[in-house]
Amino acid sequence: MWADKLKSSTHIDRGLRLIVAVTLAIWLLSVGMHMETPYPEVLVELYALPLTRIMLLLMVLAAATWCPAVGILAAIAYVCLGADVMFFTHGGQNLAMED
């Protein structure tokens, strides 16, 4: 049955899934609670490169293959990162300040 494939086989795997899921959840909460979360300049410059976005997407797919819950959190983090970087680099903050 498909649910058997979702079970982790070792204590280390369970622990790693929990650590990664909690880390992503905390990151998403911290970024989601602030409108203007500053990203490091290097991260913004790297995100502009198509190869970086492809590698991030492959990491999301690998996370989803490893653990669906981690994959969902990683996909949400990927979308939030992309939306924030595009918002702050393309003048979206000016639109948000207008009434």
For 17-63, the pLDDT digits (tens) are 888 888 988 888 887 777 666 667 787 777 778 888 888 889 999 99
- Distance of alpha carbon 1 from alpha carbon 92, whole angstroms: 47
State the pLDDT at residue 88. 60
State the pLDDT at residue 84. 67
How many domains, in total, are found in the chain?
1
Q: What is the 3-state secondary structure (H, E, C) of the chain?
A: CHHHHHCCCCHHHHHHHHHHHHHHHHHHHHHHCCCCCCCCHHHHHHHCCHHHHHHHHHHHHHHHHHCHHHHHHHHHHHHHHHHHHHHHHCCHHHHHHCC
State the pLDDT at residue 58. 93
- Which domain range does residue 21 map to? 2-97
- Structure pTM? 0.67
